[in-house]
Structure 1
Amino acid sequence: MDLKLNGATWKVGTLIGGGGFGKVYDVKNGTQLAVAKLIPKSPGAARELLFVQLADVRNVVPVIDGGETADSWVLVMPKADKSLRQYRESMAGPLTESETIAILKDIAESLTDLAGKVVHRDIKPENILFFDGKWCLADFGISRYAEATTAPDTHKFALSPLYAAPERWREERAESATDIYSLGVIAYELLTGDLPFVGPDMYKLREQHLHAAPPPMTGVRPGIATLIDQCLHKAPGARPSAASVLSRLTQLEKARPAGGLAALQKAAHVEVQRQGEAARTESAARTEAERRTELYKASTRDLAGIAGQLRTAISEAAPIAKFVEMGPIGWAATIGAATLILRANQQTSAAPWRDWEPPAFDVISHTSVSISLRSPQTGYEGRSHSLWYCDAKEEGRYQWYETSFMIMPLMTSGRDSVDPFSLDPGIDSAKAIWGGMAEYQVAWPFTALDPGDPSNFIDRWAEWLAAGATESLHRPSSMPERNPAGSWRKKGQR
């Protein structure tokens, strides 16, 4: 098969590689040997993404010809001697310090020239080739093309997980600092023989790149270890520029410091590690906030489904019911002397329990459902239950739970007019859930609500609404109304 491109006709030889974004073949034009990359014409990516002009950038494998076939864009590049991956795997162990610095300097020269112009986005040993006596970057166009052709729902997998910076995992804009992080991973791998983060799966890798500290590099000079640690900072703004990396590598190549300078390098390394720990803590807090936000959105969707089914059931059973809107999701339905009130969802703070011992489970959001009596008999005004979106039964498995609370018997309280009553996540409810004795207790077991079939929940509240409407809703004859023992996780349970 021949490829007739813009500059020449190339005879296609052996398939030598491939992946999700194309295939690589040996090609020849007379005596000139090269490789051709055929990249599918995927929707969403323009041809211009592949043809990056890098004539003034050092240590880049050039594109010597290009064109297209009916279904592929074609890039032709000189055939390199080997990739850094091939060279690394041919060695018995870690590379020497001097050899590692020489390789990193070649890459840093390229990144220095690229700064502010082009972000590679996919620096890894496979894309670093030994060509014309230098270690050179390749596949600029491929990485940009991959970015543009990946659907949003799979975008997070359009990266090289072992080398991807935290901002790539967050699907944020890639900048020059993104390539510096990947350079740090390569430097760590060359000097130690291991990767800083190994997974073993995609989700563990994400957590490690976002939050974990790389294992210490034993036997590595503090000056080099400090530089690599800085390249691996979680925050892009804390990483050194490519020019700074190149300058520091040049200094490290010259001589080994001794005496006071060596001690100062060690002190600097300790400080960089401290800064890295602070950045990891910040990244973890940010990820936790993102996790809680996503769970809150899920809780709102589920509550909307439950609330909608309850409202429909009331409307169909009692068309005379008068509804009043109470914000998103929330509403009140009045029949006769009783009003059923379902309040809108509220996001729960990460630590609502104040100085009381927190429960074993995590609450994401909360609301309440209640029956309010218009003309209370004997001082009884109705009942109210809490709805908490939490992992009360199984760690990490969140859903809506219904529960309610009571005052410890023999104690008096202004809450007696509503019995049982709802509580938001806070110090009072923490006392009820606590393993010891306190004035508040759980009056109703934590009962899971199924958004797909909340029939038991609907029937229960419809019955109480009917009783309230006919002025026959009374205070429960005994409390707790149902035995709540064992209905939520305690410390040490999963």
Structure 2
Amino acid sequence: MKPALQPGRLLATRYRLIDQIGAGGMSVIWRAHDEVLDRVVALKVLAPSLAADARFRDMVREEARAAAQLVHPHVTSVHDYGETVAPDGRITSFVVMELLSGEELEFRLTEGPLPWPEAVAIGAQVADALAAAHRLGIVHRDITTANVMMTQVGAKVLDFGIATRIGAPDDDEDGATFGTPAYVAPERLDGAPAQPATDVYSLGVLLHETLTGRVPYPADTWDELSAALARDAPPTVADVPGLPPAVAQICLRCLSRDPADRPTARQVATVLRDQMLPADPQASTMLAPTVTLTTVDRAAAVAAATPGVSAATPGVSAATPGQETPAATAPARSASGDDRCHVRCSSRRWWRY
């Protein structure tokens, strides 16, 4: 029996599958060629076992709608949502997104904390993206270093898979809490409605981690998070060399236990941008939204989509599933540290009952 999806298949009479570049618990990521607009895109395809459930299809559709509203240089662009029905009745549900070139912030931090100007630039860009989402009434709920992609145009916020509307119940119908424990605001453990302040707390965790190399309250489970919040001393960034006091202050305000004491995402972005060093060329590059991304060669991508033709793309390395490196422009790295192209799957989900 043939697999439901394979290279060369055409979805929605438009998207020709090239190769699978990632997989997670809820979805599979394919590189595909948009035959209408002649461009290479990423297709986030809901796992077949979940696509049969209308509830999960609705969740994917809502993710697409939420992200598609955000036309912002630091948010991954969503182009389309589609569903196809095979002759045997199997449903394929997918989101079409831009294909990003770069590496996860989480991966970059494996080498240690960032220089504070770079950390501040990233924090400002993520804060800008969140401010745009909050203006539209959207709460992301899963801001982590794994959901921030570093590209040639700066940081890109990924994965609106568990985003919701401001004021909506924060747990699902079974009473579960969504998110990644170390980044979750304390009030979310008590089931408070979704609010922008919960994203700002996660932003504070991200900023703290980029500055120090560690999260304020390490935790892999909800019980560990509760214990850490009750036991551990308040976080500090006092050991970061040369860090401006204004950055330290705004970071710790984001991490306030009381949501009312946190700044807005817009205020965070303003403070962080004011602390950028104008003479720092790296900082200037990271804040510029107009740099053009390296694109995949269209002809090679179309050839790769055709059954019986090699899918190899000149100048692109696919050694790491889910990611690719433009060989002509990527800096030299070890085999375990290459710059990579990435579209995040909804694979890391935590639930609290």
**Does the pair score TM above 0.5?**
yes
Inter-CA distance 94–36: structure 2 relative to 1 (3 Å threshold): same
**1:105-144 correspondence runs (5 A):** 105-117=124-136, 118-131=138-151, 133-144=153-164
1:363-407 CA deviation, whole Å, 9 max, x = no partner?
xxxxxxxxxxxxxxxxxxxxxxxxxxxxxxxxxxxxxxxxxxxxx
1:49-108 CA deviation, whole Å, 9 max, x = no partner?
12223244341111123202444421121221222122223xx21100110011111111
How far the C-alpha of 1:154 sits from its partner, in A, is 5.5
CA contact (8 A) 1:61 1:138 kept: yes
How far the C-alpha of 1:247 sits from its partner, in A, is 1.2
How far the C-alpha of 1:174 sits from its partner, in A, is 1.3
CA contact (8 A) 1:106 1:135 kept: yes
State the secondary structure of the residue aligned to 1:65: strand
Q: Does 1:226 align with 2:245?
A: no
Structure-1 separation of matches of 2:269 and 2:181: 25
CA contact (8 A) 1:10 1:28 kept: yes
**1:413-452 correspondence runs (5 A):** none
Structure-1 separation of matches of 2:42 and 2:170: 23
How far the C-alpha of 1:178 sits from its partner, in A, is 1.0
The aligned amino acid for 1:204 is E
Which residue does the alignment assign to 1:67? 82
Structure-2 separation of matches of 1:3 and 1:197: 46
Larger radius of gyration: 1
TM-score (norm 2): 0.62
Q: Does 1:240 align with 2:263?
A: yes
Which residue does the alignment assign to 1:97? 116
CA contact (8 A) 1:165 1:209 kept: no
How far the C-alpha of 1:186 sits from its partner, in A, is 0.6
1:242-265 CA deviation, whole Å, 9 max, x = no partner?
11101111222248xxxxxxxxxx
Q: Does 1:86 align with 2:107?
A: yes
1:335-354 CA deviation, whole Å, 9 max, x = no partner?
xxxxxxxxxxxxxxxxxxxx
How far the C-alpha of 1:237 sits from its partner, in A, is 1.2
**1:147-186 correspondence runs (5 A):** 152-153=173-174, 155-156=176-177, 158-186=178-206
Which residue does the alignment assign to 2:30? 25
State the secondary structure of the residue aligned to 2:22: strand
State the secondary structure of the residue aligned to 1:115: helix
Which residue does the alignment assign to 1:13? 19
State the secondary structure of the residue aligned to 2:216: coil
Inter-CA distance 148–215: structure 2 relative to 1 (3 Å threshold): closer
Structure-1 separation of matches of 2:133 and 2:265: 9
CA contact (8 A) 1:11 1:27 kept: yes
Inter-CA distance 54–200: structure 2 relative to 1 (3 Å threshold): closer
The aligned amino acid for 2:258 is A
How far the C-alpha of 1:219 sits from its partner, in A, is 2.5
The aligned amino acid for 2:228 is Q
Structure-2 separation of matches of 1:159 and 1:49: 17
**1:313-352 correspondence runs (5 A):** none
Structure-1 separation of matches of 2:231 and 2:238: 21
CA contact (8 A) 1:83 1:126 kept: yes
How far the C-alpha of 1:214 sits from its partner, in A, is 3.9
CA contact (8 A) 2:32 2:42 kept: yes
CA contact (8 A) 2:253 2:262 kept: yes
CA contact (8 A) 1:111 1:242 kept: yes
How far the C-alpha of 1:131 sits from its partner, in A, is 4.1
Structure-1 separation of matches of 2:149 and 2:231: 31
Structure-1 separation of matches of 2:171 and 2:258: 25
Task: Determine which structure has greater relative contact order: mean sequence separation of CA pairs < 8 Å that are 6+ residues apart, divided by chain length.
Answer: 2
Structure-1 separation of matches of 2:258 and 2:171: 25
The aligned amino acid for 2:128 is E
Inter-CA distance 3–119: structure 2 relative to 1 (3 Å threshold): farther
Aligned length: 249
Which residue does the alignment assign to 2:45? 38
Inter-CA distance 38–150: structure 2 relative to 1 (3 Å threshold): farther
Structure 2, unpaired ranges of 5+: 1-5, 85-89, 279-353
CA contact (8 A) 1:155 1:171 kept: no
Structure-2 separation of matches of 1:143 and 1:24: 19
State the secondary structure of the residue aligned to 1:155: coil
State the secondary structure of the residue aligned to 2:249: helix
CA contact (8 A) 2:15 2:32 kept: no
CA contact (8 A) 1:196 1:215 kept: yes
Structure-2 separation of matches of 1:12 and 1:143: 29
CA contact (8 A) 1:83 1:125 kept: yes
Structure-2 separation of matches of 1:122 and 1:3: 32
**1:173-322 correspondence runs (5 A):** 173-199=193-219, 201-209=221-229, 212-220=232-240, 221=243, 222-254=245-277
CA contact (8 A) 1:124 1:163 kept: yes
Inter-CA distance 213–75: structure 2 relative to 1 (3 Å threshold): farther
